[in-house]
Amino acid sequence: MTTASLIQRLSAHLARSPNESDRARARLHLLDWLACVAGARQAPVAAVARMAEPDMLTRAALLGNVLEMDDVHRAALLHPGPVIWPAALSAARQEKCGMDALLDGAVRGYEAMIAIGATFDAHHYAHFHPTSTAGGFGGAAAAASIFALDEAATGWALGNAASVAGGLWRMRHEDVMTKAMHAARAALEGLWLARLAREGFTGPAQALEGEQGLYAAMVREPKPMALGEEWLIHAVSFKPWAACRHAHPAIDAALELREAGKLHLPVTVETYADALKFCDRPHPVTELDAKFSIQHAVAVIADGRSATPEDFTPDAIAALSDQRAQVTVHQAAEFTAAYPQHFGARVTSDDAVVTLADTRGDPERPAGPEMLRAKLDSLVSWGGLKPVEAERAAEIALNDTSVGPLLALLEDWLE
Protein backbone atom coordinates (compact mmCIF):
# COMPACT_ATOMS: atom_id res chain seq x y z
CA MET A 1 0.00 0.00 0.00
CA THR A 2 1.42 3.37 -1.03
CA THR A 3 1.94 5.88 1.78
CA ALA A 4 0.07 9.13 1.22
CA SER A 5 2.25 12.17 0.62
CA LEU A 6 2.05 15.20 2.90
CA ILE A 7 -0.04 17.08 0.36
CA GLN A 8 -2.40 14.13 -0.03
CA ARG A 9 -2.77 13.93 3.75
CA LEU A 10 -3.48 17.64 3.94
CA SER A 11 -6.04 17.47 1.10
CA ALA A 12 -7.91 14.70 2.92
CA HIS A 13 -7.74 16.68 6.16
CA LEU A 14 -9.25 19.74 4.48
CA ALA A 15 -12.29 17.72 3.36
CA ARG A 16 -13.73 17.98 6.89
CA SER A 17 -16.59 20.42 7.41
CA PRO A 18 -16.15 23.51 9.60
CA ASN A 19 -18.91 24.12 12.16
CA GLU A 20 -20.65 27.27 13.35
CA SER A 21 -17.98 27.95 15.97
CA ASP A 22 -15.31 27.83 13.26
CA ARG A 23 -17.32 30.16 11.05
CA ALA A 24 -17.82 32.56 13.94
CA ARG A 25 -14.07 32.64 14.48
CA ALA A 26 -13.53 33.25 10.76
CA ARG A 27 -15.90 36.23 10.94
CA LEU A 28 -13.63 37.84 13.56
CA HIS A 29 -10.65 37.44 11.26
CA LEU A 30 -12.63 38.86 8.36
CA LEU A 31 -13.46 41.89 10.50
CA ASP A 32 -9.79 42.24 11.45
CA TRP A 33 -8.69 42.08 7.81
CA LEU A 34 -11.24 44.71 6.84
CA ALA A 35 -9.83 46.99 9.55
CA CYS A 36 -6.32 46.55 8.13
CA VAL A 37 -7.50 47.31 4.59
CA ALA A 38 -9.40 50.40 5.76
CA GLY A 39 -6.40 51.75 7.62
CA ALA A 40 -4.09 51.33 4.61
CA ARG A 41 -6.31 53.24 2.16
CA GLN A 42 -4.12 56.35 2.21
CA ALA A 43 -0.75 54.59 2.24
CA PRO A 44 1.60 54.98 -0.76
CA VAL A 45 0.97 51.33 -1.67
CA ALA A 46 -2.74 52.12 -2.03
CA ALA A 47 -2.02 54.97 -4.43
CA VAL A 48 0.08 52.68 -6.60
CA ALA A 49 -2.55 49.93 -6.44
CA ARG A 50 -5.29 52.29 -7.62
CA MET A 51 -3.26 53.23 -10.68
CA ALA A 52 -1.85 49.79 -11.47
CA GLU A 53 -4.66 47.37 -10.68
CA PRO A 54 -8.15 47.63 -12.22
CA ASP A 55 -9.54 44.83 -10.04
CA MET A 56 -10.76 45.91 -6.61
CA LEU A 57 -9.81 42.66 -4.86
CA THR A 58 -6.28 42.83 -6.24
CA ARG A 59 -6.02 46.31 -4.74
CA ALA A 60 -7.35 44.94 -1.46
CA ALA A 61 -4.79 42.13 -1.56
CA LEU A 62 -1.99 44.69 -1.60
CA LEU A 63 -3.25 46.50 1.52
CA GLY A 64 -3.83 43.88 4.21
CA ASN A 65 -0.21 43.75 5.41
CA VAL A 66 0.75 47.42 4.96
CA LEU A 67 0.12 48.56 8.55
CA GLU A 68 1.78 45.53 10.21
CA MET A 69 -1.48 44.94 12.07
CA ASP A 70 -2.60 41.73 10.31
CA ASP A 71 -3.29 38.53 12.23
CA VAL A 72 -0.41 36.14 12.95
CA HIS A 73 0.22 32.49 13.81
CA ARG A 74 3.16 32.27 16.19
CA ALA A 75 4.49 28.77 15.53
CA ALA A 76 4.27 29.15 11.76
CA LEU A 77 5.57 32.75 11.91
CA LEU A 78 3.20 33.98 9.22
CA HIS A 79 0.21 36.25 8.62
CA PRO A 80 -2.75 34.39 7.10
CA GLY A 81 -5.37 37.15 6.85
CA PRO A 82 -3.91 39.28 4.04
CA VAL A 83 -3.50 36.16 1.88
CA ILE A 84 -6.62 34.15 2.63
CA TRP A 85 -9.34 36.79 2.42
CA PRO A 86 -8.50 38.21 -1.04
CA ALA A 87 -8.18 34.68 -2.46
CA ALA A 88 -11.42 33.51 -0.85
CA LEU A 89 -13.34 36.62 -1.83
CA SER A 90 -12.13 36.42 -5.43
CA ALA A 91 -13.32 32.81 -5.65
CA ALA A 92 -16.61 33.69 -3.93
CA ARG A 93 -17.22 36.57 -6.33
CA GLN A 94 -16.66 34.22 -9.25
CA GLU A 95 -18.95 31.53 -7.83
CA LYS A 96 -21.57 33.96 -6.46
CA CYS A 97 -21.64 31.89 -3.28
CA GLY A 98 -23.01 32.73 0.16
CA MET A 99 -21.21 33.78 3.30
CA ASP A 100 -20.99 30.26 4.76
CA ALA A 101 -19.09 29.03 1.71
CA LEU A 102 -16.74 32.01 1.98
CA LEU A 103 -16.13 31.36 5.68
CA ASP A 104 -15.57 27.63 5.14
CA GLY A 105 -13.06 28.45 2.43
CA ALA A 106 -11.25 30.82 4.76
CA VAL A 107 -11.10 28.22 7.56
CA ARG A 108 -9.58 25.71 5.15
CA GLY A 109 -7.20 28.31 3.75
CA TYR A 110 -5.94 29.23 7.20
CA GLU A 111 -5.49 25.51 7.92
CA ALA A 112 -3.38 24.77 4.85
CA MET A 113 -1.22 27.87 5.15
CA ILE A 114 -0.50 27.34 8.83
CA ALA A 115 -0.09 23.55 8.69
CA ILE A 116 2.56 23.83 5.99
CA GLY A 117 4.17 27.00 7.33
CA ALA A 118 4.61 25.36 10.73
CA THR A 119 6.79 22.66 9.15
CA PHE A 120 9.41 25.22 8.11
CA ASP A 121 12.54 25.61 10.23
CA ALA A 122 14.79 28.42 11.45
CA HIS A 123 16.92 28.21 8.30
CA HIS A 124 13.84 28.89 6.18
CA TYR A 125 12.76 31.82 8.36
CA ALA A 126 16.23 33.33 8.20
CA HIS A 127 15.95 33.73 4.43
CA PHE A 128 12.33 33.40 3.37
CA HIS A 129 9.14 35.29 4.27
CA PRO A 130 6.73 32.50 5.36
CA THR A 131 3.64 34.58 4.60
CA SER A 132 4.81 34.41 1.01
CA THR A 133 6.25 30.90 0.85
CA ALA A 134 3.33 29.26 2.68
CA GLY A 135 0.71 31.72 1.48
CA GLY A 136 0.13 30.13 -1.90
CA PHE A 137 -1.02 26.94 -0.16
CA GLY A 138 -3.56 28.91 1.85
CA GLY A 139 -4.87 30.82 -1.13
CA ALA A 140 -5.15 27.61 -3.13
CA ALA A 141 -6.96 25.75 -0.34
CA ALA A 142 -9.42 28.61 0.23
CA ALA A 143 -10.27 28.88 -3.46
CA ALA A 144 -10.40 25.08 -3.87
CA SER A 145 -12.96 24.90 -1.08
CA ILE A 146 -15.17 27.54 -2.67
CA PHE A 147 -14.82 25.89 -6.08
CA ALA A 148 -15.85 22.57 -4.39
CA LEU A 149 -12.79 20.72 -5.68
CA ASP A 150 -12.34 17.09 -4.67
CA GLU A 151 -9.29 15.87 -2.74
CA ALA A 152 -7.30 15.04 -5.87
CA ALA A 153 -7.82 18.43 -7.50
CA THR A 154 -7.14 20.24 -4.22
CA GLY A 155 -3.88 18.30 -4.01
CA TRP A 156 -2.95 19.40 -7.52
CA ALA A 157 -3.41 23.04 -6.58
CA LEU A 158 -1.39 22.58 -3.37
CA GLY A 159 1.38 20.72 -5.21
CA ASN A 160 1.68 23.50 -7.74
CA ALA A 161 1.74 26.06 -4.92
CA ALA A 162 4.80 24.24 -3.57
CA SER A 163 6.45 24.29 -6.98
CA VAL A 164 6.38 28.10 -7.20
CA ALA A 165 6.78 29.05 -3.53
CA GLY A 166 9.12 31.93 -2.76
CA GLY A 167 9.62 35.29 -1.11
CA LEU A 168 12.95 36.58 0.18
CA TRP A 169 13.44 38.76 3.28
CA ARG A 170 15.77 41.11 1.41
CA MET A 171 13.02 43.74 1.23
CA ARG A 172 13.36 44.32 4.99
CA HIS A 173 16.69 46.04 4.35
CA GLU A 174 15.42 48.63 1.87
CA ASP A 175 12.61 51.20 1.84
CA VAL A 176 10.42 49.35 -0.69
CA MET A 177 6.86 48.06 -1.06
CA THR A 178 7.77 44.41 -1.67
CA LYS A 179 6.37 43.00 1.57
CA ALA A 180 2.84 44.03 0.61
CA MET A 181 3.28 42.36 -2.77
CA HIS A 182 4.34 39.09 -1.12
CA ALA A 183 0.92 38.60 0.46
CA ALA A 184 -0.95 39.69 -2.66
CA ARG A 185 1.08 37.41 -4.93
CA ALA A 186 0.39 34.42 -2.71
CA ALA A 187 -3.35 35.14 -2.71
CA LEU A 188 -3.62 35.63 -6.46
CA GLU A 189 -1.35 32.70 -7.22
CA GLY A 190 -3.35 30.36 -5.00
CA LEU A 191 -6.59 31.46 -6.67
CA TRP A 192 -5.12 30.85 -10.12
CA LEU A 193 -3.78 27.40 -9.22
CA ALA A 194 -7.16 26.32 -7.85
CA ARG A 195 -8.87 27.60 -10.98
CA LEU A 196 -6.46 25.58 -13.12
CA ALA A 197 -6.93 22.46 -10.97
CA ARG A 198 -10.70 22.71 -11.38
CA GLU A 199 -10.20 22.18 -15.10
CA GLY A 200 -7.85 19.22 -14.65
CA PHE A 201 -4.44 20.90 -14.40
CA THR A 202 -2.38 18.42 -12.39
CA GLY A 203 0.35 19.03 -9.80
CA PRO A 204 3.03 17.05 -7.93
CA ALA A 205 1.84 15.14 -4.85
CA GLN A 206 5.30 15.00 -3.26
CA ALA A 207 6.20 18.62 -3.91
CA LEU A 208 7.04 19.16 -0.23
CA GLU A 209 9.11 16.15 0.86
CA GLY A 210 10.08 14.63 -2.49
CA GLU A 211 13.40 14.81 -4.32
CA GLN A 212 14.00 18.41 -5.53
CA GLY A 213 10.89 19.48 -3.60
CA LEU A 214 10.34 22.53 -1.43
CA TYR A 215 11.98 21.07 1.69
CA ALA A 216 15.10 20.08 -0.23
CA ALA A 217 15.42 23.59 -1.58
CA MET A 218 14.34 25.77 1.36
CA VAL A 219 14.25 23.80 4.63
CA ARG A 220 17.07 21.96 6.38
CA GLU A 221 15.10 20.24 9.14
CA PRO A 222 11.37 20.17 8.33
CA LYS A 223 9.08 19.67 11.30
CA PRO A 224 6.25 17.10 11.27
CA MET A 225 2.99 18.31 9.82
CA ALA A 226 0.51 18.53 12.71
CA LEU A 227 -3.11 18.00 11.64
CA GLY A 228 -5.42 18.01 14.65
CA GLU A 229 -9.16 17.92 15.21
CA GLU A 230 -9.54 21.65 15.92
CA TRP A 231 -9.11 23.99 12.98
CA LEU A 232 -5.92 26.03 13.26
CA ILE A 233 -7.71 29.34 12.76
CA HIS A 234 -8.49 29.19 16.50
CA ALA A 235 -4.75 29.38 17.26
CA VAL A 236 -4.18 32.62 15.34
CA SER A 237 -3.34 35.82 17.22
CA PHE A 238 -4.73 39.30 16.63
CA LYS A 239 -2.42 42.34 16.63
CA PRO A 240 -3.61 45.37 18.57
CA TRP A 241 -0.63 47.63 17.74
CA ALA A 242 0.81 48.98 14.48
CA ALA A 243 4.22 47.33 14.72
CA CYS A 244 5.92 44.05 13.87
CA ARG A 245 4.59 41.27 16.09
CA HIS A 246 8.11 40.72 17.45
CA ALA A 247 7.83 44.16 19.10
CA HIS A 248 4.44 43.45 20.69
CA PRO A 249 5.63 41.64 23.83
CA ALA A 250 7.78 44.65 24.74
CA ILE A 251 4.91 47.03 23.97
CA ASP A 252 2.56 45.00 26.14
CA ALA A 253 4.95 44.81 29.10
CA ALA A 254 5.69 48.53 28.83
CA LEU A 255 1.97 49.26 28.79
CA GLU A 256 1.47 47.28 31.99
CA LEU A 257 4.20 49.30 33.67
CA ARG A 258 2.66 52.54 32.41
CA GLU A 259 -0.80 51.56 33.60
CA ALA A 260 0.70 50.95 37.05
CA GLY A 261 2.42 54.36 36.99
CA LYS A 262 5.86 52.70 37.00
CA LEU A 263 7.20 53.26 33.48
CA HIS A 264 10.11 55.70 33.67
CA LEU A 265 12.99 56.03 31.26
CA PRO A 266 15.54 54.57 30.94
CA VAL A 267 14.18 51.03 30.53
CA THR A 268 15.63 47.64 29.66
CA VAL A 269 13.88 45.12 27.42
CA GLU A 270 14.69 41.41 27.46
CA THR A 271 13.15 39.18 24.81
CA TYR A 272 13.84 36.28 22.41
CA ALA A 273 16.55 36.13 19.76
CA ASP A 274 14.37 36.53 16.67
CA ALA A 275 12.77 39.64 18.12
CA LEU A 276 16.23 41.20 18.21
CA LYS A 277 17.16 39.87 14.78
CA PHE A 278 14.14 41.55 13.25
CA CYS A 279 13.49 44.49 15.56
CA ASP A 280 16.72 45.70 17.18
CA ARG A 281 16.74 49.08 15.41
CA PRO A 282 17.80 51.92 17.71
CA HIS A 283 17.91 54.45 14.87
CA PRO A 284 14.90 53.97 12.57
CA VAL A 285 14.72 56.20 9.51
CA THR A 286 11.61 55.10 7.64
CA GLU A 287 8.11 54.23 8.80
CA LEU A 288 8.85 50.55 8.18
CA ASP A 289 12.04 50.84 10.24
CA ALA A 290 10.03 52.25 13.13
CA LYS A 291 7.52 49.40 12.98
CA PHE A 292 10.44 46.98 13.18
CA SER A 293 12.09 48.78 16.12
CA ILE A 294 11.61 47.62 19.71
CA GLN A 295 13.36 50.79 20.84
CA HIS A 296 10.86 52.98 19.01
CA ALA A 297 7.87 50.89 20.08
CA VAL A 298 8.75 51.17 23.76
CA ALA A 299 9.52 54.88 23.36
CA VAL A 300 6.01 55.28 21.93
CA ILE A 301 4.51 53.79 25.10
CA ALA A 302 6.81 55.78 27.38
CA ASP A 303 5.63 58.94 25.63
CA GLY A 304 2.01 58.16 26.54
CA ARG A 305 0.98 57.13 23.04
CA SER A 306 -1.11 54.11 21.95
CA ALA A 307 1.07 52.47 19.23
CA THR A 308 -1.35 53.38 16.45
CA PRO A 309 -0.17 54.01 12.86
CA GLU A 310 0.46 57.71 13.51
CA ASP A 311 3.05 56.77 16.15
CA PHE A 312 5.37 55.27 13.51
CA THR A 313 5.39 58.10 10.99
CA PRO A 314 8.46 60.23 10.17
CA ASP A 315 7.16 62.93 12.52
CA ALA A 316 6.94 60.44 15.37
CA ILE A 317 10.39 59.07 14.57
CA ALA A 318 11.85 62.57 14.88
CA ALA A 319 9.89 63.42 18.02
CA LEU A 320 10.93 60.31 19.94
CA SER A 321 14.66 60.32 19.32
CA ASP A 322 15.59 61.08 22.93
CA GLN A 323 13.22 58.45 24.31
CA ARG A 324 14.53 55.74 21.97
CA ALA A 325 18.06 56.40 23.17
CA GLN A 326 16.98 55.36 26.65
CA VAL A 327 15.66 51.93 25.63
CA THR A 328 18.16 49.06 25.81
CA VAL A 329 17.36 45.60 24.42
CA HIS A 330 18.89 42.21 25.22
CA GLN A 331 18.21 38.56 24.49
CA ALA A 332 17.00 36.39 27.38
CA ALA A 333 17.43 32.62 27.16
CA GLU A 334 14.07 31.88 28.78
CA PHE A 335 12.14 33.70 26.06
CA THR A 336 14.24 32.25 23.23
CA ALA A 337 13.61 28.73 24.58
CA ALA A 338 9.83 29.28 24.64
CA TYR A 339 9.72 30.79 21.13
CA PRO A 340 7.94 30.48 18.68
CA GLN A 341 5.15 28.84 20.66
CA HIS A 342 5.23 31.88 22.93
CA PHE A 343 6.32 35.47 22.25
CA GLY A 344 7.54 36.83 25.58
CA ALA A 345 9.42 39.81 27.01
CA ARG A 346 10.49 41.50 30.23
CA VAL A 347 10.61 45.27 30.66
CA THR A 348 12.45 46.77 33.63
CA SER A 349 12.09 50.39 34.74
CA ASP A 350 13.91 51.42 37.92
CA ASP A 351 12.94 48.64 40.35
CA ALA A 352 9.67 47.79 38.58
CA VAL A 353 9.54 44.72 36.33
CA VAL A 354 6.84 43.19 34.12
CA THR A 355 7.43 39.75 32.60
CA LEU A 356 5.01 38.37 30.01
CA ALA A 357 5.02 34.90 28.44
CA ASP A 358 2.30 35.87 25.95
CA THR A 359 0.92 39.13 24.68
CA ARG A 360 -2.53 40.62 24.14
CA GLY A 361 -4.34 39.07 21.22
CA ASP A 362 -2.70 35.65 21.65
CA PRO A 363 -4.99 32.64 22.28
CA GLU A 364 -3.77 32.62 25.90
CA ARG A 365 -4.83 36.27 26.22
CA PRO A 366 -7.57 36.44 23.59
CA ALA A 367 -8.79 39.55 21.87
CA GLY A 368 -12.34 40.35 22.89
CA PRO A 369 -14.93 42.06 20.70
CA GLU A 370 -14.11 45.38 22.39
CA MET A 371 -10.45 45.25 21.32
CA LEU A 372 -11.28 44.30 17.75
CA ARG A 373 -13.96 46.99 17.49
CA ALA A 374 -11.62 49.63 18.91
CA LYS A 375 -9.02 48.59 16.33
CA LEU A 376 -11.62 48.82 13.55
CA ASP A 377 -12.79 52.28 14.66
CA SER A 378 -9.20 53.53 14.85
CA LEU A 379 -8.16 52.20 11.45
CA VAL A 380 -11.31 53.35 9.68
CA SER A 381 -10.51 56.84 10.92
CA TRP A 382 -6.81 56.55 10.01
CA GLY A 383 -7.80 55.48 6.52
CA GLY A 384 -9.89 58.60 5.99
CA LEU A 385 -13.31 56.95 6.14
CA LYS A 386 -16.36 58.16 8.04
CA PRO A 387 -17.17 56.45 11.38
CA VAL A 388 -20.33 54.96 9.88
CA GLU A 389 -18.09 52.74 7.75
CA ALA A 390 -16.90 50.95 10.88
CA GLU A 391 -20.52 50.18 11.77
CA ARG A 392 -21.14 48.99 8.24
CA ALA A 393 -18.06 46.75 8.21
CA ALA A 394 -18.85 45.22 11.59
CA GLU A 395 -22.45 44.44 10.63
CA ILE A 396 -21.43 42.80 7.36
CA ALA A 397 -18.50 40.82 8.74
CA LEU A 398 -20.23 39.58 11.87
CA ASN A 399 -23.84 39.09 10.73
CA ASP A 400 -24.40 39.10 6.98
CA THR A 401 -25.29 35.90 5.14
CA SER A 402 -24.44 37.23 1.68
CA VAL A 403 -21.07 38.09 0.14
CA GLY A 404 -22.53 40.84 -2.04
CA PRO A 405 -22.57 43.58 0.63
CA LEU A 406 -18.98 42.75 1.54
CA LEU A 407 -17.84 43.18 -2.06
CA ALA A 408 -19.81 46.42 -2.31
CA LEU A 409 -18.14 47.70 0.87
CA LEU A 410 -14.68 47.07 -0.52
CA GLU A 411 -15.65 48.59 -3.85
CA ASP A 412 -16.68 51.79 -2.04
CA TRP A 413 -13.50 51.86 0.05
CA LEU A 414 -11.08 51.18 -2.80
CA GLU A 415 -12.58 52.96 -5.80
For residue 194, count CB atoms less than 10 angstroms from its CB and return exposed for 0-12, middle for 13-18, buried for 19 or more: buried
Same structural domain for residues 265 and 379? no
Q: Assess if residue 409 is contained within a domain.
A: yes
Same structural domain for residues 71 and 204? yes
Q: Assess if residue 362 is contained within a domain.
A: no
- Among 312, 336, 356, the domain-final residue is 356
d(C-alpha 101, C-alpha 123), whole Å: 37
Please tell me the predicted confidence (pLDDT) of residue 2.
Answer: 77
Q: Are 278 and 173 in contact (CB under 8 A)?
A: no
Residue 171: phi and psi, rounded to 5, are -65, -20
Please tell me the predicted confidence (pLDDT) of residue 354.
Answer: 98
C-alpha atoms less than 13 angstroms from C-alpha of 125 in its C-beta half-sphere: 19
Same structural domain for residues 381 and 345? no
Please tell me the predicted confidence (pLDDT) of residue 292.
Answer: 95
| CA distances (Å), origin 225, targets 113, 221, 387 | 11, 12, 43
Residue 335: phi and psi, rounded to 5, are -75, -35
Same structural domain for residues 124 and 164? yes
Please tell me the predicted confidence (pLDDT) of residue 140.
Answer: 98
d(C-alpha 208, C-alpha 216), whole Å: 8
Residue from 301, 325, 233, 294 nearest 16 by CA: 233
Please tell me the predicted confidence (pLDDT) of residue 264.
Answer: 96
Please tell me the predicted confidence (pLDDT) of residue 272.
Answer: 98
Same structural domain for residues 126 and 264? no
Q: Assess if residue 399 is contained within a domain.
A: yes
Q: Assess if residue 1 is contained within a domain.
A: no
For residue 185, count CB atoms less than 10 angstroms from its CB and return exposed for 0-12, middle for 13-18, buried for 19 or more: buried
Domain count, the chain: 2
C-alpha atoms less than 13 angstroms from C-alpha of 144 in its C-beta half-sphere: 37
For residue 340, what is the domain's CATH number?
A: 3.30.1330.120
Q: Assess if residue 262 is contained within a domain.
A: yes
- Among 356, 383, 398, the domain-final residue is 356
Same structural domain for residues 383 and 350? no
Q: Are 88 and 106 in contact (CB under 8 A)?
A: yes
For residue 208, what is the domain's CATH number?
A: 1.10.4100.10
Q: What is the CA radius of gyration of the chain?
A: 21
d(C-alpha 154, C-alpha 137), whole Å: 10
Helices (H), 225-320: 248-259, 273-279, 287-291, 294-302, 314-319
- Among 335, 356, 377, the domain-final residue is 356
C-alpha atoms less than 13 angstroms from C-alpha of 405 in its C-beta half-sphere: 13
Encode the chain (415 residues) as per-residue pLDDT tens digits. 579 999 999 999 999 999 999 999 999 999 999 999 999 999 999 999 999 999 999 999 999 999 999 999 999 999 999 999 999 999 999 999 999 999 999 999 999 999 999 999 999 999 999 999 999 999 999 999 999 999 999 999 999 999 999 999 999 899 999 999 999 999 999 999 999 999 999 999 999 999 999 999 999 999 999 999 999 999 999 999 999 999 999 999 999 999 999 999 999 999 999 999 999 999 999 999 999 999 999 999 999 999 999 999 999 999 999 999 999 999 999 999 999 999 999 999 999 999 999 999 999 999 988 899 999 999 999 999 999 999 999 999 999 999 999 999 999 999 8
Terminal-residue alpha carbon distance, the chain: 55
List the domain range (segments joined by +) for residue 406. Answer: 6-240+367-414
Same structural domain for residues 152 and 72? yes
Residue 98: phi and psi, rounded to 5, are -90, 180
Residue from 332, 319, 341, 348 nearest 256 by CA: 348
Same structural domain for residues 15 and 60? yes
* Preceding peptide of 249 cis, ω within 30°: no
Same structural domain for residues 202 and 342? no
SS3 for 372? helix
Q: Assess if residue 361 is contained within a domain.
A: no
Please tell me the predicted confidence (pLDDT) of residue 369.
Answer: 85
Residue from 174, 175, 316 nearest 242 by CA: 316
Same structural domain for residues 32 and 75? yes
DSSP letters for 121-164 = -HHHHHHB-HHHHTHHHHHHHHHHHHTT--HHHHHHHHHHHHHT
Same structural domain for residues 141 and 206? yes
Same structural domain for residues 211 and 92? yes
Q: Assess if residue 374 is contained within a domain.
A: yes
Q: Assess if residue 107 is contained within a domain.
A: yes
Please tell me the predicted confidence (pLDDT) of residue 1.
Answer: 59
For residue 364, count CB atoms less than 10 angstroms from its CB and return exposed for 0-12, middle for 13-18, buried for 19 or more: exposed
Q: Are 352 and 259 in contact (CB under 8 A)?
A: no
> pTM of the predicted model, to two decimals?
0.95
d(C-alpha 231, C-alpha 141), whole Å: 14
Q: 371-383: b or e for each residue (b if 16 or more CB lie within 10 Å)?
A: ebbbbbbbbbbbb
